[in-house]
Amino acid sequence: MKLLRLGALGAEKPALLADDGTLRDLCGIVSDIAGEMLGDEALNRIRSIDPASLPLVSADRVGACVGNVGKFICVGLNYADHAKETGKEPPPEPILFMKATTAVVGPNDDVEIPRTSAKTDWEVELGVVIGKRAKYVSEADALSHVAGYCVVNDVSERAFQSERGGQWTKGKSHDTFGPIGPWLVTRDEVADPQNLSLWLDVDGQRRQTGNTSTMIFGVAHLVSYISQFMTLMPGDVIATGTPPGVGMGIKPTPVFLQTGQVMTLGIEGLGEQRQTTIAARD
């Protein structure tokens, strides 16, 4: 299934993208695509309904495909070729950091360039949405705790991230730095999360091309690994790392985002995003 949330920011309603391309209202079935509604029981309830029996709904705005994200966990340097372009060695264990949930926006919302920013960058990533509580889970059991997958743009301000002291969070958490969606594709429709093509363009120029097969640490390993350090809850989102082609890795001179540019990005089977960069608002 492809689940999404439609409507104004903060007032999104749950919907289903049917196989015939129509959008169907899920308000009478679930309260939101969030929390316990991401568990197998709720998803099976949706799955059992004939989409044609649900009311049609329009899409003036597509919101983040997950509501009320509890934790936004990111994995750094998880593609060996991306680590190389940044001048770093592939890590022996997953590098984890957090992105503020106030960064979450819809897949086509504007992305703000922060005040004083000189190095705002792009990162297409596979997002993993947790559907069942996970604490000390094995790698063999890890994927049963996943509700589904989505596209994430892990927008980053590199100077804030690496030149302003401390850890990476401050460079990852500006408002609008976490577009998620357009859809949550349930795990039963993703045969192999380790064989998905990813891409990102800036102003129509291809910047990133990759495949999740080149991840250093795969999805099952990441879910299991993270669950050793914190309890993962339904609605938590894991951004699993980015392939090469980020702005900071461009040689001989890095390239960063300016206002008025357009990012388009997508993942095989998971949909596409489109964002225009604007100056930060109050």
The C-alpha R_g of the chain, in whole angstroms, comes to 18
Percent of the chain topping pLDDT 90: 93
Query: In which band, very low, low, confident or very high, does the pLDDT at 202 lie, cut at 50, 70 and 90?
Result: very high
CA atoms within 13 A on the CB side of 42: 21
| pLDDT score for 99 | 97
Instruction: Report d(CA 183, CA 224) in Å as an integer.
Output: 24
| pLDDT score for 82 | 81
List, in order of start, the domains of the chain with CATH numbers.
2-53 (no CATH), 72-279 (3.90.850.10)
The pLDDT mean for the chain works out to 96
**End-to-end Cα, the chain, rounded Å:** 37
Q: Tell me the CA distances in angstroms from 245 to 66, 84, 206, one per residue in order.
A: 27, 11, 9
- Residue 210's DSSP bridge partners are 198
CB count in 10 Å sphere of residue 8: 10
Query: In which band, very low, low, confident or very high, does the pLDDT at 228 lie, cut at 50, 70 and 90?
Result: very high
The pTM is what? 0.96
Query: In which band, very low, low, confident or very high, does the pLDDT at 238 lie, cut at 50, 70 and 90?
Result: very high
pLDDT in tens, 136-157: 999 999 999 999 999 999 999 9
- State the virtual CA torsion across 49, 54, 60, 62 in degrees, nearest 10: -10
Average pLDDT over residues 8-29: 96
Q: Are strands 13-17 and 23-25 parallel, antiparallel or unpaired?
A: antiparallel
Length of the chain: 282
